[in-house]
Structure 1
Amino acid sequence: MRWQQLLEQAGHQVTVVTGYDGEPTDLLIALHAWRSADAIQRFHTEWPEKPLIVALTGTDIYHHQYQYPEPTHASMAAASVLIGLHDLVAQDIPETFRHKLLTLRQSAAKPAVRGGSRPEPGQFNICVIGHLRDEKDSLRAAWASRLLPEESAIIVSCAGKPHNDEWRERALSESKDNPRFHWLGQLDKAQLENLMAVSSLMVISSVMEGGANVVSEACRAGLPILASDIPGNRGLLGEHYPGYYPVKDDAALARLMRKAETEPEFLAQLTDCVKELAETFTPERERQSLEQAVALALAAVNPAG
C-alpha cells in the first residue's frame, strides 16, 4: 500500500491485487519471487513484451531460492528488474541476475518528536518490534536480559503478533517467568510510536531479513539499534556500525545491552549512526527508487525507446 501511494504521487495509476488472472496492464510489480511465482510466469507468458519488476524478500533470498530453487529463480529470470531491500543482496543471489538488481531502502515517516513520552524513572527501556516468529528470533533480547546483573535497570518490551499458538505460549511464559520482560501483544501505530519514544534502545534479533522496515522506523526516530550480524541488517546499517552481535548469542547481546546502559558514549555513538542514516529512509528517497525501477524496467523491454 505504501508503494501504491508513492507511485500514485509520481503520476502512475496503481491497482493492488492479491492474485493475477491475466488482465492487461502496462507493468506488473510482483512482491515475493516465490510466493508470486505463478502470477509472474503467467504475466511473463501472456505479455512477454511488457515490463516486470520483482521485489525480493528475505525469505526469497535466504530460504526459498534454496528450498524451491526452480520457481524462485524462474521469477528472477522473468523479471526486467529485481528490487533488493538492502545493499548486500547482490552477494546472495545468482550472479547471472545481479545486473537486474536495484537497491531500494524502505521508508518510514518521521514520527512525532521523541521525548513527548517519558520512560519510567529508574528504568532503561529496550524495545523489540515485529511479529513473533522463528525468522525474527523474537525472544532473544528477553533471554539475554536474564544474564544481566541484578543492579541493571534494563526492561525489555516486545510488541508483535505471534505467528502461531506456540509463539504465543512462549511469549506469555517468558513474561510470567522473567521480571525484565513484558510482551505487549500487537500494537497500533500510535502505540508503537509511544513505545519507541519511551525506549532508549531497540534490538533487532532476526536470523534472516531481506531489509527490515523496523530499521527504517528506528533510524527515522533517532532510536539506536543493537542488531544481529546478518546481511539484511549489515546491508542497511553499514559495515562499520558498532552495534552488531553474533546471531543467537545471548551473552554477546547481554554485554552490548549492558554497555549501552552503562556507557553513555557508546549509546551516543549508536544514536549518531542512526541519525546519519535517517535521510536514506525518507519517503522521497523510496519514491525516487521506485521511479528508477520503473524507468529501468521500461528500458529493458524497449531498449531503443
Structure 2
Amino acid sequence: MKICSITNSLTSGGAEVLVTGLSAEFARSGDQSLVLALCDAESVGNSAETEKRMIAEIEGAGGAFLSLGLSAKRSPFEGASAMRKALKSFAPDVVHAHTVRALPMLTLGRIKAPRVLTHHNTRLPFSPKMFPLFDRMTDTYVSIGADVEEVLGQYVNKPIVRIPNAAGRSFAQGTTRSAPSDQPYILSVGTISEQKNYPLLIDTAKALRASNPDHPLPRFQIAGGGADLDALRTRVTDEGLVDVVEFLGERSDVPDLMKASDLYLNVSLYEGMPITLLEAMASGLPIVATDVPGNCELVADDVNGLKAPLGDPQAIAARITEILSDNALYSRLSAGSIERSGDFSIENTAAKHRDLYASLIG
C-alpha cells in the first residue's frame, strides 16, 4: 500500500510521535509511507531541531517526509494547490489526516484516495457544528480510545474505528523496578501548554515541601518546550523551588529520561490517550495522574499508579508520597505498568491501521 499520513508539523506532541512510529512500522511491512506536514516546524512555533530529528527517524526507517511549507494560517486554498502537487507523483492508496485542517485541502485538491481522520483529544478545538462538513470529507474516523470515541459518537455519522495509541519500540524497561532511588526523580513530558497544566505541578511541589519540611524533596523534571516556559521558570524562582523543579526543554532522549526516573507525573486538564503515559508504562514507571478523560483510561488505581482529583495539589502530593515511601506498592505498580503496556504495542496499532486501510481500498 501507499500510505500518506498528514500532520500539522513535526513536533514532540503525541499525534506526531504516533505518526512517526507508525511510518516505521508501515515501512517494515513493505508499504510505501509518506509523512506530509502542512507547515515547517518553526513557522508554527515548534522546534526545528526536533523536526530534523523526527525527519531522520522517518527516513531512516524507510519512509519519506515532505513539508508543504504553508504559512501559519494554513489557508485551505493555498493548501489544496500544494497538496495536489505533493501527492501527484506519490499517488496514495489511502490518506490518513491527523489534523482536521487537512480535510478541506484534500477536498479542494480533489485527492481521490480514501480518507481517514483521527481526532487526538477529548476536547474539540472547533465547533461541533463542523462535523457534518467533515463527514462529507472523510470515509472513516479513528478514535484513539473510549473517551475520544464517546466525544466523536455524539456528532459524527460515519464509521468510528477504535485504534489505541502506542509507545515506540525504544521504550521497554523489561524488568520490574523494586524501589525508588534515594533521591527520587519525578518526570513529566509534554509541551508547556494550558492543557498540560504545569502550574499544578509547581503547586504539588509546594504541597510536598509543606507536608515534609524536614525531608529532602523529590526532584521534578519537565521535558518540553513552549511559549509559557519563561513564565513557569519565573514562578519556580519566586516560589523558591529552583532546586526542586527543573526544566529540561525539548529532549530527544526521552527513553533514557524514563529509565533514569522513579515516577511519572501527569497533571493535565484533559487528554486523549497520552502517548507519554504509554511510554512511562512501557518503561515500568509507577504513575500519578489527574483523574481526567484520557488519563483514567490508562491509569488504574493500585494497578499501575494512583489518580488524584484535578486541582488538588495536596492530594497529588499525598499520592506521590504514598508510592515513594512504600517499596512493596512501588514494585507492584511498576509491574502493573509493564503488564498493561503489553496491550498497546506499536506493532499491534500499526497492524490495525493497515487492516482499516485495506478495508477502505477494497
Normalised by the shorter chain, which TM-score bucket? 0.7 to 0.9
Alpha carbons of 1:86 and 1:236: their partners in 2 closer, same or farther (altered >3 Å)?
A: farther
Deviation at 1:262, TM superposition (A): 1.5
Q: Distance in 2 between matches of 1:130 and 1:124?
A: 20
Question: Are the equivalent residues in 1 in contact too, given 2:300–2:306 (CA < 8 A)?
Answer: no
Q: Distance in 1 between matches of 2:283 and 2:237?
A: 27
Correspondence 1:222 to 2:284: yes
Deviates more, 1:9-18 or 1:205-214: 9-18
Deviation at 1:172, TM superposition (A): 4.4
Q: Distance in 2 between matches of 1:194 and 1:121?
A: 16
Equivalent position to 2:30, from 6, 11, 19: 11
TM-score, with normalisation over the residues of structure 1?
0.82
Q: Distance in 1 between matches of 2:355 and 2:333?
A: 31
TM-score, with normalisation over the residues of structure 2?
0.70
Q: Distance in 1 between matches of 2:360 and 2:192?
A: 36
Q: Distance in 2 between matches of 1:94 and 1:136?
A: 25
Q: Distance in 1 between matches of 2:298 and 2:181?
A: 33
Q: Distance in 1 between matches of 2:334 and 2:214?
A: 24
Question: Are the equivalent residues in 2 in contact too, given 1:53–1:81 (CA < 8 A)?
Answer: yes
Alpha carbons of 1:38 and 1:99: their partners in 2 closer, same or farther (altered >3 Å)?
A: closer
Secondary structure of 2:207 counterpart:
coil
Residue segments in structure 1 that go unaligned for 5+ positions in a row: 300-305
Question: Are the equivalent residues in 1 in contact too, given 2:265–2:287 (CA < 8 A)?
Answer: yes
Alpha carbons of 1:172 and 1:248: their partners in 2 closer, same or farther (altered >3 Å)?
A: same
The number of equivalent residue pairs is 285
Render the CA deviation track for 1:87-133: whole Å, top value 9, x for unaligned: 33221223444742222322322447589xxx996312211111111
Q: Distance in 2 between matches of 1:86 and 1:62?
A: 13
Deviation at 1:73, TM superposition (A): 5.0
Correspondence 1:62 to 2:81: no
Match of residue 168 from structure 2: 108
Secondary structure of 1:135 counterpart:
coil
Secondary structure of 2:162 counterpart:
strand
Alpha carbons of 1:152 and 1:215: their partners in 2 closer, same or farther (altered >3 Å)?
A: same
Secondary structure of 1:234 counterpart:
helix
Question: Are the equivalent residues in 1 in contact too, given 2:301–2:307 (CA < 8 A)?
Answer: no
Render the CA deviation track for 1:190-219: whole Å, top value 9, x for unaligned: xx3332222210001111212111112111
- Same amino acid, percent of matched pairs: 16
Match of residue 61 from structure 2: none
Deviation at 1:53, TM superposition (A): 0.9
Deviation at 1:243, TM superposition (A): 1.2
Question: Are the equivalent residues in 2 in contact too, given 1:85–1:105 (CA < 8 A)?
Answer: yes
Residues 1-305 of structure 1: matches in 2 within 5 Å? 1-19=20-38, 21-22=83-84, 23=88, 24-33=91-100, 35-42=101-108, 47=112, 50-58=113-121, 61-64=122-125, 67-95=126-154, 96-97=156-157, 99-111=159-171, 113=173, 122-148=182-208, 149-164=212-227, 166-175=228-237, 177-178=240-241, 179-189=243-253, 192-237=254-299, 242-299=305-362
Render the CA deviation track for 1:244-274: whole Å, top value 9, x for unaligned: 1112221110110111122223323321221
Question: Which residue identity lines up with residue 146 of structure 1 in the other structure?
Answer: K
Match of residue 8 from structure 2: none
Question: Are the equivalent residues in 1 in contact too, given 2:22–2:346 (CA < 8 A)?
Answer: no
Which fold has the larger relative contact order, with Cα–Cα distance below 8 Å and residues 6 or more apart in sequence?
Answer: 1
